[in-house]
Amino acid sequence: MILAMAGLRQLTRHPWQALLALVGVALGVGVVTAVDLANESAQRAFRFAAQTIGGKATHFISGTPQGLPDQLYVDLRLRRGIRRSAPVVEGQLQVPGAGTLRIVGIDPFAETPFRSFGLRFPRAADIASFLTRPATGLLLYETAVRLKVRQGDSFTVESGGERHRLLVTGFLEPENEVAKQGLQSVVVTDIATAQELLGMVGRLSRIDLIMPEGREGEQKMEQIRSLLPPGAEIIPAASRLGNLQQMTRAFRLNLTALSLLALVVGMFLIYNTMTFSVVRRRRFIGLLRAVGVTRREIFTMLCGEALVIGILGTMSGILLGTLLGTELTRLVTRTINDLYFSLEVVSVTPLPGTFLKASFLGVGATMLAAFPPALEATTTPPRTVVSRITLETRMMRLVPFSGLAGLLFMGAGSCFLLVERSGVIGGFTGLFFIIVGYALLVPAATVTLSRLFRPFISSMMGVVGKMAARGVVASISRTGVATAALVVAVSATLGIGAMVDSFRSTVVGWLDSWLRADVYVTTAGTGTGRNKPPLDPESVELLGRVSGASAVSLTRRISIEGSQGPTEVLAMEVPKETYASYHFREGGGWNTWGAFSRGEVVMVSEPYAYRHRLRVGESISLRTAEGVRRFPVAGVFYDYGSDAGVVLISRAAYIRFWKDPSVDGMGFYAEEGVAAGELAKRLRQPNRLSTLLEGVAAGELAKRLRESPGSRRVMVVENRELRKATLNIFDRTFAITGVLRLLTVTVAFVGILSALMAIQLERSRELAVLRAVGMTPRQAWGMIFGETGLIGIIAGLLSIPLGMLQALALVYVINRRSFGWTMQFSFGYHLVAEALILSMAAALLAGIYPARTLAGTSPALALKEE
């Protein structure tokens, strides 16, 4: 108890040191907690929505992108007696100014075995209204409040560019909290209403089934398969959820790994704090050992102090992470919407598992970092504990061994990076080993560079400069760790920045080759482009004849559901002159394009080939309107639009095998002498098409596009606008990494401030002697800033090679294993300048407080014990 009180008294006597340690732990734990909350909230929202909408279905029937004929459901239920079946029409609605709603059209009379939406109607007449009146739907009461509508109100929704009014006839009352969270941002309608709103009259999205287990289930599925039209397939319901979760796994894993980096930097801070705690009390510990206190008791006292710091810092970090988690969830959700699938997260609910993980990491990291200095204090004989020079001498002897251990760690890390079978986790493990190994090399590099810089600093600052350079080496036990912490943080910023720059420059080059048309036209709306409603056929024909366009490209993008997950297929018809602009990893060439145009082969994107282990010459199976068909792969092209990958097929082959002549995108190539802006202006003003189209009646197209209440609006965008929008999505995607970079550098700044305070406060007697023999306060400031500035320069220089190593690992190993992309490495000079400026600024700013404190301290007061 006496030792515990002594340890607590030491913490209260030096509150700034304890506070800085607490802040370091709190920031590290806070970042990990925030990322975990964001990942888990997004996953729970998706999982609950899928479970609630999917219900108790064991399988579902999926058709072609056009859907299933609703006559199939009639045949299954009435003619074949498959009573445990339910039709579903599903899609997305845009609510102007309020985001996205997921629409689910159901048959209320078939729903009981599948889903329990808890339909509530205030009056009996509302039930009849829901079943018989067009454009009616049900919402959660909370969703209705968010949309500012009440029962009996109508609100505006958009689908495929069409605007509709939807009447709220009642509310959903789910039976439990899981179902309630799954129904956030969901509107439930009857089948007919959903078909009309989504433009799927006579078609179903899927048919849900509940199949018995064993032989009876197999017999029923064979019976159902005999009724299926070509292009339809029975898919296990569980596979859909698992495949969609797998799509975001690499994204979530990368975020988690980046958040742990802040905790690693925080561990350096804890190590600094506990080392200073031991060194500052070396006389006290020596006296305790001399009067009979055992090593175990000393070790327990120091570990107890670390435990207090760890617990308080972890609690603060969890609170901070909870606050950060809401904003980070918004960024994560936005990225998932941009890259993967539509997702709405209404609330962030902290889970016990998140807090347990954060507590384990925070307290565990604190104790791990505190173990070496605590052990050092117990293994040193009492007489040598009192001597400061003993510690520095021992540290100088350990510097070569630390460097050797660092090389071994970096070698082990390189092995993880080179062995592809180690996967994404192996890649991050290898990167972690390289970072730790490099950090172990920093003390030796600090000693070497300090000696190299000593003549230069001496020539600039005289004796004060020489003392500053020697001070870095003389206190290597603290400066080495402080410099390593700053090197790790700045190199992380440098490495992630280089990775983002490499990715961005690669995407810019890809856009130059992919976006060749001058103006693009597509269905209006804010969807992702997957299964968008097609353009009106007459509009396609008329717009294709606009004057000023030398050529027109036509595209159709669909998603084919399968047991292995969704497959994106892009059917396109482009001018031959654009063939040369596409870049291939494998295959390609004019012969390939000829076979592609005839519909004999397909091409796949690099991520698709990587995920499915495909090479040129192999084949893939796609479910078409004529059944499953195999297509030879003739090329693997670079594509950065989706990490799930895409299959490219000629439009002629798509029409032949999918029986779908529709188009959801058009590209217009301006004639020579016609500006893209002028061409876009013509396409945006349909009332002027009478003067731009040959053989078209005046105002015909304008009237249909502008005045018809059921007409679909189109979106016209120029090449430069589309490029800008794409790069905006890219920048939004990496906004999360920017936040994590900032937090990591903040942790490092706190760490370097703590270390410099420890060094300068420990040298207070030395500075007092110098002040007593004539050193002015200005010279004291100069010596302290010379020392901190030298640490900043050394940290900046050492962070550049480590940052480059991290960038290489991220670009060529981790991103490749995570997403299947090949990126062009880019390491700009501005990143080197940023690293030097950042490390110098952090070190100099951290030196202000110790310099001000010590330069203004009276020499007599500092020497009162002598």
How many CB atoms neighbour CB 15 within 10 A? 10
499 and 560 within one domain:
no
Give the pair of three-digit tokens for residue 251: 């994204």
Co-location of 538 and 512 in the same domain: no
pLDDT (0 to 100) of residue 590: 75
Q: Which of 533, 518, 542 minimizes the C-alpha distance to 686?
A: 542
Residue 422 carries which DSSP code?
G
Give the Cα separation of 43 and 255 in Å (integer).
14
How many other CB atoms are found less than 10 A from the CB of residue 322?
18
Are residues 772 and 746 both part of a single domain?
A: yes
Residues 199 and 72 in one domain: yes
Q: Does residue 707 carry a pLDDT above 70? A: no
pLDDT number for residue 826: 83
- The answer to whether residue 816 sits within a structural domain is yes
In the chain, how long is the greatest CA-to-CA distance?
Answer: 108
Residue 2 confidence class, pLDDT cut points 50, 70, 90: low
User: Are the C-beta atoms of residues 262 and 269 closer than 8 Å to each other?
Assistant: no
Q: Domain limits at 286?
A: 1-56+241-386
Tell me how crowded residue 641 is: count the other CB atoms within 10 A of its CB. 19
Q: Is residue 480 in a domain?
A: yes
Instruction: Report the candidate in 522, 17, 466 with the shortest Cα–Cα distance to residue 273.
Output: 17
The domain boundary, picked from 668, 689, 712, lies at: 712
Beta strands in 107-218 (DSSP E): 119-120, 136-140, 154-159, 162-172, 186-190, 203-204, 206-209
Are residues 111 and 36 part of one domain? no
Average pLDDT over residues 827-856: 77
Q: Which two tokens stand for residue 344?
A: 């709405």
Whether 565 and 503 map to the same domain: the answer is no
Asked if 733 and 689 sit in the same domain, the reply is: no
Helix and strand numbers (H, E) in the chain are 31, 22
Q: What is the pLDDT of residues 414-434, one digit of tens each?
A: 998 888 777 778 888 898 899
Beta partners for 87? 207
In a domain, 403, yes or no: no
Q: Which of 364, 386, 408 is the last residue of a domain?
A: 386
Question: Residue 531: is its pLDDT beyond 60?
Answer: no
**Nearest partner of 154 among 203, 110, 193, 184, judged by Cα:** 193
Smallest Cα–Cα separation from 287: which of 391, 378, 382?
382
Q: Do 341 and 38 contact (CB within 8 A), yes or no? A: no
Mean pLDDT for 608-625 is: 88
Q: Rounded distance, CA 806 to CA 428, Å? A: 10
Structural domain includes residue 422? no
pLDDT tens string 392-417: 666 777 788 888 999 999 999 999 88
User: Considering only 152-156, 165-169, 638-642, 719-723, which range has the smallest mean pLDDT?
Assistant: 719-723
Please indicate, yes or no, whether residues 577 and 686 belong to a single structural domain of this protein.
yes
Structural domain total, the chain: 4
Same domain, 807 and 724: yes
pLDDT tens digit sequence for 243-252? 555 555 655 6
pLDDT in tens, 63-87: 877 788 888 888 888 777 788 888 9
Domain closes at, from 207, 230, 253: 230
462 dihedral zone (left: phi>0; alpha: psi -120 to 50; beta):
left
In a domain, 433, yes or no: no
